[in-house]
Amino acid sequence: MDYPRPIRTDIDWSALSFGFMPTRSHIAFHWKDGAWDKGELRTDPHISMSIAATCLHYGQACFEGMKAFRCKDGKVRVFRPWENIKRMNRTGHQLLHPEIPEEMYLEAIHRVVLDNIDYVPPCESGGSMYIRPLFIGTGPQIGVSPATEYDFLIMVMPVGAYYKEGLKGVPALVIEDFDRAAPKGMGQFKVAGNYGASLMPAKLAKKAGFPIPLFLDPREHKYIDEFGTSNFLAITKDGKYVTSDSPSILPSVTNMSLMQVARDLGITVEKRPIVAEEELPTFAEVDACGTAVVITPISSVTIHGKVIEYGHECGPVSQKLYDRLTGIQRGELEDTHGWLYTI
Ligand SMILES: Cc1ncc(COP(=O)(O)O)c(C=O)c1O
């Protein structure tokens, strides 16, 4: 497929990390008087809003994250955008935002990726384009109430392959002094405030030598909820895929996809509450999963001072799941579930 702009030659694709990089444009839509405008591509990466915008004061802010890949055949494809659209509308509904029609959302992704198509890394680099939609209340309010105006923005940027030398395990720490979400709170929604709540525990965990915090359920602190920015999954010694079922975790598109891949491979999938202290020592493999890295193997989990080891290498079942999912994303394996949207 010929896109209007060839791949850029002024970027060292092998040196990319998961970090912010300005690109040509973002797309911006505005909602006012009950209707969305037609949206426009903007080159200025700064946005302007009232000092009394509700996203600044009252937390009317949510976001999403998905990726586009330059596949082997040269086409650029976005992985399961429909799931992110649904999740953002669920979050928006909870924050009293207006609905974003699916067609408008998909068109927005299409327009902004196409305008920045030269920033989608080459297939062989292992990199991808990160797509970050942001949905904020921008109308002014001083009493605590929802805004009367909203902005829906999407920025895009190239990001690197996390693991150039293969998947390597990292140690996780069970957080004891903080919860990332409340029982019956906002844990299942991708609201900005959840990430504010996770900054301090993540910082303290990192300082103690653990790059990944693991949160327990906020009601009893007995069940595994999720990692700071990814879901929890484990492979049992008899080869089952186990993942947490909890009302206070974000429903991960990656986890959902890995569960389907596991079923396709004949692996039994169990989505259920996981009793942390009792079950962690029984697992053969433990991983964090999410859009940024797909699978991060967990080398150990430290819970109440006890260290449970899983090894530094990615486990064989996790590796198989990773290879299958990334193969579909990059167009190397058949997209039997219709997960890819072609730009
Ligand atoms: C709290 C949290 N859990 C899980 C995930 C993984 O979700 P996904 O696979 O949709 O990226 C993310 C990342 O978006 C996250 O922030």
Residues 149 and 24 in one domain: yes
The CB of 250 under 6 Å from ligand 1? The reply is yes
Inter-residue contact 81 to 88 (CB < 8 Å): no
The CB of 138 under 6 Å from ligand 1? The reply is no
Q: With a cut of 50, which residues of the chain have pLDDT below it?
A: none
Which residue among 229, 244, 322 is best mutated to probe the pocket of ligand 1, counting the most ligand atoms within 8 A of its Cβ? 229
> Count of domains in the chain?
2
What DSSP line would sit under 143-197, residue for residue?
SSS--SEEEEEEEEEEE--S-TT--B-EEEEE-SS--SS-TTSSTTS-BHHHHHH
Domain boundary among 104, 138, 161: 161
Nearest CA residue ID for atom 3, ligand 1: 230
Q: What pLDDT is stored for residue 2 in this prediction?
A: 83
Joined tokens for residue 162? 């996390």
Residues 182 and 288 in one domain: yes
Q: How many CB atoms lie within 10 A of CB 309?
A: 12
Query: Can you count the helices (H) and strands (E) in the chain?
Result: 7, 18
Which residue among 78, 84, 291, 339 is best mutated to probe the pocket of ligand 1, counting the most ligand atoms within 8 A of its Cβ? 291
Inter-residue contact 104 to 81 (CB < 8 Å): no
Q: What pLDDT is stored for residue 165 in this prediction?
A: 62
Residues 184 and 125 in one domain: no
Q: What pLDDT is stored for residue 119 in this prediction?
A: 98
Q: Is residue 342 part of a domain?
A: no
CATH number, domain containing residue 318: 3.20.10.10
Q: Is residue 334 part of a domain?
A: no
Ligand 1 atom, smallest distance to 254 CA = 9
Residues 192 and 324 in one domain: yes
Residues 38 and 176 in one domain: no
Q: Structural domain of residue 310, as residue ranges?
A: 170-329
H or E stretch covering 125: none
3-class SS of residue 67: strand
Nearest to 155, CA basis, from 132, 181, 137 = 132
3-class SS of residue 132: strand
Tens-place pLDDT, residues 96-132: 999 999 999 999 999 999 999 999 999 999 999 999 9
Q: Is residue 343 part of a domain?
A: no
Residues 94 and 243 in one domain: no
Q: What pLDDT is stored for residue 163 in this prediction?
A: 64
Q: What pLDDT is stored for residue 209 in this prediction?
A: 95
3-class SS of residue 299: strand
Tens-place pLDDT, residues 329-343: 999 999 999 999 999
Residues 174 and 155 in one domain: no
Q: What pLDDT is stored for residue 282 in this prediction?
A: 98
Q: Is residue 337 part of a domain?
A: no
Rounded CA gap, 26 and 23, in Å?
8
Q: Is residue 253 part of a domain?
A: yes
